[in-house]
Structure 1
Amino acid sequence: MSLAETLTDIRARADWAALPRALPFARMLGLRVEVRGESFTCVMPFEQKLIGNPALPALHGGAIGGYMECAGILHLLWSSEALAVPKTIDFTIDYLLSGRPQDTYANVYPIKLGKRVSNLRIEAWQTAPAKPIAVAVMNMLMR
């Protein structure tokens, strides 16, 4: 089944739990999405393979960055009628705290959802949304 057919099927059934399985990198990270009404949260379950610094231990920055980019893409696929993966124009991330060896959550806040370009703010957190471990801004080319 093509990605467009998969996305159409997911939307028809409102089976948002299947959305991360449509993207190979999201599937590799084991991402989950939690949709409650208009609320969208992306979850990266902790796995030992995500540790970058075993001395602390802390999550690898690349795993956090890739996760946050995936969260933004998944949000766009959830909130729009896109039948293809939006293309990243730019992605800027600020790491605020070390990611601990536990589940990580991301809230995605659309700044502008356009037909050609969309802009999102993503906040990743572990213990509380008010204590983000990283924040990112991304611009995406909608296809």
Structure 2
Amino acid sequence: MFESSIASQWLAHTRESGDLEAWLALIPYARRIGVSAEIDEDGVLFHLAPQQGNVGNVLLPALHGGVVAAFMETAASLDLMLATREPRLPKIIDFSIDFLQATRLAPTQARCRLLREGKRMANVQVTAWQQSASQPVATARLHFALADPDQSHDA
């Protein structure tokens, strides 16, 4: 995609400007399922637009669990790219999700919280909801390896 130094410069520039849409544009699946993001006073708020193609249970209708998981993984990765002390690319190691209730075909939001950032690892918690942040539809915990953008082109 980019040469090493160009990737590092691009990542640093987009981090400084908070250009999440530039990052989302490079993730075809995120675009396909309808992920968007905005920066507000509480950090980054991620959105998953309701799309018929994301339905897993047509009887309810409810979103497919894989779509919800992909939304939350994308949110955690992008949030972490903004939150780290220096520009680094996260590589997922472990992902654990708890589905708390059916995720209906309705707008879905998510927020992330960086629990720990070490030299080589980071832990992120994600909460997704529809009606109210106090009534989550899913929570997730993710562990990432943190890579220097100039040394991560093999992933």
The answer, yes or no, to whether TM exceeds 0.5 is: yes
| Larger of the two Rg values belongs to structure | 2
Matches within 5 A, 1:24-103: 24-37=28-41, 39-80=43-84, 81-84=86-89, 86-103=90-107
Q: Does 1:20 align with 2:24?
A: yes
Structure 1: which 5+ runs fail to align? none
User: TM-score, normalization: structure 2?
Assistant: 0.82
Q: Does 1:116 align with 2:139?
A: no
The 3 A distance-change label for structure 1 pair 25 and 115 is farther
**Identical aligned residues as a percent:** 33
Q: Distance in 1 between matches of 2:11 and 2:19?
A: 10
Structure 2: which 5+ runs fail to align? 148-155
Q: Is the 8 A contact 1:40 1:107 kept in 2?
A: yes
Aligned residues: 142
- What is the RMSD computed on CA atoms of the aligned residues? 1.8
Q: Distance in 2 between matches of 1:101 and 1:29?
A: 12
User: TM-score, normalization: structure 1?
Assistant: 0.89
Q: Is the 8 A contact 1:33 1:41 kept in 2?
A: yes
The one-letter amino acid of 2:87's match is A
The one-letter amino acid of 1:136's match is A
